[in-house]
Amino acid sequence: MYAKLSRVARMLTPSPIQELSQLAQRIGAINLAEGFPDFPALPDFKAAAVSAINSDFNQYRHVQGICELLEAKMKRDHGLQINPLTDVVISCGQTEAFAASIFAVIDHGDEVLLFDPAYETYGPCISLAGGIPVYVPLDPPHWTFDVEKLTKSFTSRTKAVVLNSPHNPTGKVFTKGELEAIAEACRSRDCICITDEVYEYITFDIHKHVSISSLHGMQERTIITSSLSKTFSVTGLLCFSNSTGWRIGWSCAPSNIASAIRNIHINITDSAPAPFQEAALTALRSSPEYFKSLRTSYEARRDNAVETLSGLGFQIQFKPQGSFFLFAELPESWLHSDVDFVRELIKKGGVAAVPGCGFFRNCSNNENKYYNRFVRFAFCKSDETLAAAAQRIRELEVIGDKGLLKKL
């Protein structure tokens, strides 16, 4: 019956990452692969969700108060004026917000530019809509892009640019100059920018998130997507469990585009979870001290992860500027692929990570010889989990010429 499957279904094949996740499950490896916190959300957030359930907010529901809080957030953080009645769509997490946004603006044959490496669901989502993903390389070690390459990637069929900052998997925060270059390209070619800003409050050192929508002429051509999950530790687990988290996300866009996104959302899922919408009101009213503590705690975890992996020989020329991932280059002595390394790390060290090749798409490009030389580690874990993983990693050494990790 394989012949009965659609072209798109046949295109979406399992990746080596799924096989490695299953191996990690069987072994009981410490999970530094997936980006979900293994520590609890704050008691106030959980209490708000429990109270909503007990108050029978359990049916289809739209909580307009979320839109009003997002209006205040956009004005406070980015200087944007939005209409909470027409410019905001509440969705089942950022993943649905992004998908509905793509389906709202992309037609068959439209090209969409993405920066490579990219979060792995963007490209397939564009393909599902009939669009064509076109990848613009981010060059290591600092993950910068060539403005001329970006410009030359635009064609008469380019409809949109996808921008994820802070960036998964690299931890890059796009600079104001880089954002200006992207914005100028969008303005001059009348293109839309679709952003993923889920890590907007998780930035380190002197780096701060700037939404491209705040730049001149960009609010009217930008769709912002984000969610509660990363900021408030209420994410979903993908491979290691069937839990789906709170799944409260949103799109902010000009009213005509937002209306189209809303119509698609209604026809896909109809409503985001009612009790978690109620709880979102509590989360979105969090004090500035909460966000400061969030950055401080993740920055300390980042620094510990850098120290631990450097001790195993990883080449870390770029410390994450945001998000909660470390995209580390394999030790020079390791002469084999990232997939081989992660398999050995799971088997010998009992620690799971993600091979970087899963995030690269221009693998056939000779310029991208580094596509299988990176491994992504998630440091959004409890201190106890990170300490246990660090201890296991410290007990290993690389024997690169034999393609092995060995316990000391």
> pLDDT tens, 287-318?
999 999 999 999 999 999 999 999 999 999 99
State the Cα–Cα distance between residues 199 and 362, nearest whole angstrom: 25
pLDDT given for residue 240 in this prediction: 39
Query: What local confidence, expressed as pLDDT, does residue 238 receive?
Result: 43
pLDDT of residue 237: 45
Q: What share of the chain is helix, strand, coil (3-state, %, to 5)?
A: 45, 15, 40
pTM: 0.94
Alpha-carbon distance of 223 to 88, in angstroms, equals 10
Per-residue pLDDT of the chain (408 residues; tens, 9 = 90+): 778 888 878 887 777 677 778 888 899 999 999 888 888 888 898 898 899 889 988 777 788 889 999 999 999 999 999 999 999 999 999 999 999 999 999 999 999 999 999 999 999 999 999 999 999 999 999 999 999 999 999 999 999 999 999 999 999 999 999 999 999 999 999 999 999 999 999 999 999 999 999 999 999 999 999 999 888 876 654 443 444 567 899 999 999 999 999 999 999 888 888 888 888 999 999 999 999 999 999 999 999 999 999 999 999 999 999 999 999 999 988 988 999 999 999 999 999 999 999 999 875 554 567 889 999 999 999 999 999 999 999 999 988 666 678 887
Q: Tokens 């398999």, residue? A: 343
Rounded CA-CA distance 104/157 in Å is 16
pLDDT tens for 327-369 read 999 998 898 899 999 999 999 999 999 999 999 987 555 456 7
What's the confidence (pLDDT) of residue 101? 98
pLDDT of residue 396: 93
| Residue bearing tokens 């890590």 | 199
Tell me how far the alpha carbon of residue 19 is from its chain's centroid. Answer: 21
Nearest to 278, CA basis, from 69, 94, 53, 84? 53
Q: What is the per-residue pLDDT for 367?
A: 55
Q: Give, in degrees to the nearest 5, the angle at Cα 127 between 193 and 169.
A: 60
Q: What distance in Å separates the CA atoms of residue 143 and residue 360, rounded to the nearest whole number?
A: 13
- Mean pLDDT of all residues in the chain? 91
Q: What pLDDT was estimated at residue 403?
A: 66
Query: What integer pLDDT is reported at residue 8 of this predicted model?
Result: 79
The alpha carbon of residue 144 and the mean position of all alpha carbons in its chain are separated, in whole angstroms, by 18
Question: How many whole angstroms separate alpha carbon 104 and alpha carbon 125?
Answer: 12
Q: What phi-psi label fits residue 310: left (phi over 0), alpha (psi between -120 and 50 degrees) or beta?
A: alpha
Count Cβ atoms below 10 Å from residue 406 Cβ, excluding itself: 12
Gap between the Cα atoms of 380 and 171, Å rounded: 13
User: 335: which 2 tokens?
Assistant: 């002469």
